[in-house]
Structure 1
Amino acid sequence: MPADMAHSASPAIRKERIQLVDAANRPCGSAERALMRRFHFWHRATYVFVLNARQELCIQVRTMTKEVFPGHYDLATGGVVGAGEPVHVAAQRELAEELGVEGVRLRPCFDFRFAEQGNHIFGSVFLARYDGPLRLQAEEVADALWMPIADALRLERATPDSRLALQLMLERGLLSQET
């Protein structure tokens, strides 16, 4: 999805200040989200993989109004890191906003780089275990479902950054496709 899709986001989201980083992931300023998307600036984002006791992954269906990859599956919850915001705080915030999940321990896993389709991201990956109810953020999450990791990997319309993060989790032995 072209990065100039930021016009579909609400005015408040477009004006949100995002932490910008250089090619080595060092903070180098901030910009409004719309400018970050338009100029393909490097920025930070969080990816929280939520597993239940049956080792199923919580998959989100992105709303059609999302600025990037509308209607696609997100294999992790998360989002961009605000200006001056620590990544673990951003991960907790996104988990609470998108799924209504609070007070859950987030296990930091690793950081990775993603540069594709107009996105330039340094991603921070976390793992959470959760079996409670979900309260979806209607503006961003159309639906959520639980599925085995192997099935999640087969989803054709998964966002490429969350797919890469999941593949890296598997390669590093932090998750398994076995249930």
Structure 2
Amino acid sequence: MTDALRDETPPLPHVVRERIQLVDARNRPCGSAWRTEMRRFHFWHRATYVVVRNARGEICVQHRTLTKEVFPGGLDLAAGGVVGAGEAEHVAARRELAEELGIRGVALRPAGGFVHAEGGNHIFGSLFLVDHDGPLTLQAEEVADAFWYTPAEALALPGVTPDTRQAVQVLLEAGLLEASP
């Protein structure tokens, strides 16, 4: 097989086998489960949402790959993901930001939280804001592309994942983002 053919071979679907921090309906830790179990049984869990904003006040919108287990091909308005067993939310947020967008060494500002209980998902979301104008290094298994839009433009896009839509709406309502800077 030539190098050119190898480069054109699509990557295998991103398979993650990890333990997830489970919480009760009041966000108190109550054990852990494999990611697949958490999804199958709709367990309450924690997740992080890092909204990346540039100097123009636009936010980074990620186009999810088609191999994502939830909302394949959808649009995310935040970097982030589930919190691992025993992992602190700010640590998970930094990890996800580095993995998905290649952003490291920036100030992570806590911005509150929200509860998302919709479509079989039961999430306590921790919100963070990051200002970033540098390059992005996209994680090929999870992020197909990234774009910059004002928060209002981003919310109007079709295919936005419901949890990241809620995250941005919470930040707008709290006055932490401007709809159209």
TM bin (shorter chain): over 0.9
- 2: distance between equivalents of 1:178 and 1:115? 28
Aligned-residue CA RMSD in angstroms?
A: 1.1
Asked if the contact 1:20/1:28 (under 8 Å) is kept, the reply is yes
- 1: distance between equivalents of 2:19 and 2:92? 13
Alignment match, 1:134: 136
Q: 1:113 aligns with which of 112, 115, 125?
A: 115
TM-score relative to the length of structure 1: 0.93
Q: CA deviation at 1:10?
A: 4.0
TM-score relative to the length of structure 2: 0.92
Q: CA deviation at 1:119?
A: 0.5
Alignment match, 2:149: 147
Q: Secondary structure at the match of 2:69?
A: coil
Structure number with bigger Rg: 2
Q: How does 1:11-160 map to 2 (within 5 A)?
A: 11=15, 13=16, 15-160=17-162
Unpaired runs of 5+ in structure 2?
A: 1-11
Aligned residues: 170
Q: Which runs of 4+ in 1 moved over 2 A?
A: 8-11
Alignment match, 2:178: 176
Asked if the contact 2:14/2:141 (under 8 Å) is kept, the reply is no
Q: Secondary structure at the match of 1:66?
A: coil
Q: CA deviation at 1:9?
A: 6.0
Alignment match, 1:4: none
Over the matched positions of the two proteins, sequence identity in percent amounts to 67
Unpaired runs of 5+ in structure 1?
A: 1-7
Alignment match, 2:169: 167
- 2: distance between equivalents of 1:40 and 1:20? 10
